[in-house]
Amino acid sequence: MTTPHVQSNVQRAVPFFWVRSIEESLRFYVDGLGCKLTKQWVDEGKLRWCWLELGDAALMLQAFWREGQHRNLPAAPVGVGVSINFLCDDAVRLYHEFRGRGLDASRPMVGNGMWTTQVKDPDGYNLFFESPTDAPEESVLPEDA
């Protein structure tokens, strides 16, 4: 018995990162990565949550509550072990753009048929930017490229 094709109700996954300083995170994501702030929630004069877009990708940031009944600021680092992979047309170009904006992006290398560069946000979340390539596995972008 075959099941008829049904359009999926799910559209996309959007990472949601809790952050210690939303101001510092915005500098990283907007000024460093080039994201656009498209939605925000301001509570009692403070930015608490925002929606950022980079091309067709999106992510959300929310500031930890440092005091009051909603206090949820953890003692441990929050980004440890969390990685998000962004598929893109040209990871090498992004590497140069990120470095030009002062980010510490890793030198691109090839793994699984993809050029990959990595940056770590202020809370330790790992962000990988990858693009398809036919370069040999484990190739590393030369210093002068």
In this predicted structure, what is the pLDDT of residue 1?
58
Could you say which architecture CATH assigns to the domain 16-66+79-132? Answer: Roll (3.10)
Q: What is the pLDDT of residues 29-58, one digit of tens each?
A: 999 999 999 999 998 899 999 999 999 999
> What residues pair up with 36 in beta bridges, in sequence order?
53
- Per-domain residue ranges of the chain: 16-66+79-132
Rounded Cα gap, residues 77 and 100, in angstroms: 27
In this predicted structure, what is the pLDDT of residue 117?
98
pLDDT band at 3 (very low <50, low <70, confident <90, very high): low
Within the chain, where are the H helices?
22-26, 91-100
Q: What is the pLDDT of residues 71-118, one digit of tens each?
A: 677 777 888 889 999 999 999 999 999 999 999 999 999 999 999 999
CB 115 within 8 A of CB 109: yes
Task: Give the pTM.
Answer: 0.88
5: pLDDT strictly greater than 90:
no
Q: What is the token pair recorded at 40?
A: 């925000």
In this predicted structure, what is the pLDDT of residue 4?
66
8: pLDDT strictly greater than 90:
no
Q: What is the token pair recorded at 133?
A: 């390539």
